[in-house]
């Protein structure tokens, strides 16, 4: 990409990021030429098909206030080899219940402490905590439902799912659901295999016998999970649910079915309520700390590198806009450690420019002209920039623990810090190298640069 085209791209990106980063509902009131203006300016909302973002900053429990629950799962009725799966199934049920309750950006994590299986639930902004506790603490209820007799002559696709009636077959009779790979199709697509105990086997045989060619809906906590069509009567209590599953969707369905099949009562070990006042104070102090850090970094760059520092500062501003946009678009739930990760990454965002500028000084001392010194400075500094940032990226990934390894960190606060740090480092590599070099290639002149060299370096 030519330097002019890259410059126009950076300008366009900066304008878009500035619009998206604009705060919500900023009042504008003034009078001019005998007319009064009273309106509110806000960043736009994004809606493309099913994709929707209100572009609000999502705040975590420590900033927004809310409640934190520590739950313990009763595994006394669960076999040892099924306990981890039962805990994950219980987590899945709680996550869906919290979503239905309307809690924004909850954090739900599992942990094993000795023989204790626990679930940590953070509910930012929750008001009626007693109702939420009652909702979360229930054991999952799974049941199978069929089309009522009064709809027997109707086309199944035209029958609303909510009119299906219970068959008497529930999760108590379901032994287990697991992912398998179909042997009856050439592609070997993933399927979900379910099996019933002796009592469930008899019920399932009767139900499938009278519903051949009709859907049999499976509900979890009064919510329809799936409604496969019965192809034939099933007498042995072993059934296969197929239907163009991906591995991920098949695993998800198996977890949901097991959530209702495994009776895992939940009890509350600890409950904490965090008031919004603490969150507001934390936000204000964090903003002040961030602004002070940003101004100090920019002042340092201007004092040490003069006009070169101005380009680094412009790149730093663009860095801040892009970072804020990513926080809004993903969206990322900001916590105090997350903000700390961002503030730390601000200083790291100019590290690349310092390495580059120092390399340029070395090239100038060897008698090279300013343009060649600039290109060599960027080129030779890249190895150091890459290695330094790679070390930070690896550290952030270990703290983030994206694969949820139990021998690594599983704390949500630590992961929030790691995520903002990781995003900051990745963006800084773009702004510190690409943006700064593009600005210098288009707006920096040799005469001015040589004068600066003589004043600053010699």
Residue 86 belongs to domain with CATH number: 3.30.1360.200
From first CA to last CA, the distance across the chain in angstroms is 35
Domain coverage including residue 95: 66-274
* pLDDT tens for each residue of 177-218: 888 886 555 557 889 999 999 999 999 999 999 999 999 999
> Do residue 310 and residue 217 come from a single domain?
no
Residue 56 scores a pLDDT above 70: yes
Residue 10, CB half-sphere, CA atoms under 13 Å: how many? 25
**DSSP secondary structure string for all residues of 211-238:** -BTSB-EEEETTEEEE-PBB-S---SSE
> Do residue 345 and residue 390 come from a single domain?
yes
Residue 426 scores a pLDDT above 60: yes
Residue 263 scores a pLDDT above 70: no
**For the residues 4-12, what does the mean pLDDT come to?**
92
Residue 344 belongs to domain with CATH number: 1.20.1640.10
**For the residues 324-332, what does the mean pLDDT come to?**
87
Using the 3D structure, point to which of 235, 251, 274 is the last residue of a domain.
Answer: 274
Q: What is the pLDDT of residue 457?
A: 42
Mean pLDDT of the chain: 82
> Do residue 84 and residue 219 come from a single domain?
yes
Helix (H) or strand (E) holding 266: strand 266-274
> Do residue 132 and residue 183 come from a single domain?
yes
> Do residue 265 and residue 293 come from a single domain?
no
* pLDDT tens for each residue of 81-123: 888 888 888 888 888 777 766 666 678 888 888 888 999 888 8
> Do residue 210 and residue 355 come from a single domain?
no
> Do residue 227 and residue 310 come from a single domain?
no
Q: How confident is the model at residue 421 (pLDDT cuts 50, 70, 90)?
A: very high
- The distance from CA 204 to its chain's CA centroid, rounded to whole angstroms, is 40
Give the integer Cα–Cα distance in Å for 456 and 453. 5
Q: What is the pLDDT of residue 1?
A: 55
Give the integer Cα–Cα distance in Å for 305 and 297. 12
Using the 3D structure, point to which of 274, 306, 337 is the last residue of a domain.
Answer: 274
Question: In terms of pLDDT, which residue wins out, 445 or 332?
Answer: 332
Q: What is the pLDDT of residue 458?
A: 41
Q: Is residue 46 part of a domain?
A: no
Asked if 98 and 222 count as a contact pair (C-beta separation under 8 A), the reply is no
Q: What is the pLDDT of residue 408?
A: 79
Q: Is residue 193 part of a domain?
A: yes
> Do residue 367 and residue 431 come from a single domain?
yes
Question: In the chain, how many domains are there?
Answer: 2
* pLDDT tens for each residue of 267-299: 888 887 777 655 567 667 777 877 887 888 889
> Do residue 117 and residue 176 come from a single domain?
yes
Q: What is the pLDDT of residue 447?
A: 46
Give the integer Cα–Cα distance in Å for 260 and 226. 13
């Amino acid at each position: 990409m030519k330097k002019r085209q890259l410059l126009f791209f950076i300008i366009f990106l900066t304008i878009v990021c500035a619009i998206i980063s604009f705060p919500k509902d900023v009042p504008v009131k003034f009078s001019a030429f005998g007319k009064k203006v009273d309106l509110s300016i806000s960043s736009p909302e994004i809606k493309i098909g099913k994709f929707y973002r209100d572009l609000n900053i999502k705040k975590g429990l420590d900033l927004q206030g809310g409640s934190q629950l520590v739950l313990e799962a009763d595994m006394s009725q669960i076999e040892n080899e099924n306990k981890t799966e039962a805990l994950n199934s219980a987590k899945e049920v709680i996550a869906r219940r919290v979503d239905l309750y309307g809690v924004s950006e909850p954090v739900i994590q599992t942990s094993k402490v000795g023989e204790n299986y626990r679930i940590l639930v953070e509910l930012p902004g929750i008001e009626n905590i007693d109702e939420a506790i009652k909702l979360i603490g229930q054991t999952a209820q799974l049941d199978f439902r069929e089309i009522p007799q009064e709809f027997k002559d109707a086309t199944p696709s035209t029958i609303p799912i909510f009119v299906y009636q219970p068959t008497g077959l529930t999760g108590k009779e379901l032994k287990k659901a697991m992912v398998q790979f179909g042997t009856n199709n050439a592609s070997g697509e993933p399927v979900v295999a379910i099996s019933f105990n002796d009592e469930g086997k008899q019920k399932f045989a009767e139900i499938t016998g009278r519903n051949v060619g009709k859907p049999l809906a499976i509900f979890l906590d009064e919510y329809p999970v799936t409604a496969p069509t019965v192809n034939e009567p099933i007498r042995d209590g072993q059934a296969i649910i197929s239907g163009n599953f991906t591995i991920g969707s098949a695993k998800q369905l198996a977890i949901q079915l097991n959530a209702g099949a495994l009776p895992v009562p939940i009890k509350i070990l600890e409950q904490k309520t965090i008031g919004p006042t603490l969150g507001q104070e934390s936000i204000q102090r964090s903003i002040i700390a961030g602004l002070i850090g940003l101004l100090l970094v920019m002042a340092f760059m201007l004092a040490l590198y003069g006009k070169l520092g101005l380009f680094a500062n412009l790149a730093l501003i663009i860095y801040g806009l892009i970072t804020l946009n990513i926080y809004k678009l993903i969206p990322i739930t900001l916590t105090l450690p997350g903000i700390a990760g961002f503030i730390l990454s601000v200083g790291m965002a100019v590290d690349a420019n310092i390495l580059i500028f120092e390399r340029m000084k070395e090239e100038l001392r060897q008698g090279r002209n300013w343009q060649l010194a600039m290109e060599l400075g960027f080129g030779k500094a890249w190895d150091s920039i890459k290695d330094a940032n790679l070390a930070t990226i690896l550290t952030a990934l270990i703290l983030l623990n994206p694969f949820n390894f139990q021998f690594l960190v599983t704390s949500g606060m630590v992961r929030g810090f790691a995520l903002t740090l990781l995003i900051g480092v990745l963006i800084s590599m773009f702004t510190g190298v690409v943006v700064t070099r593009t600005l210098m290639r288009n707006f920096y002149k040799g005469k001015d640069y040589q004068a600066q060299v003589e004043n600053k370096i010699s």
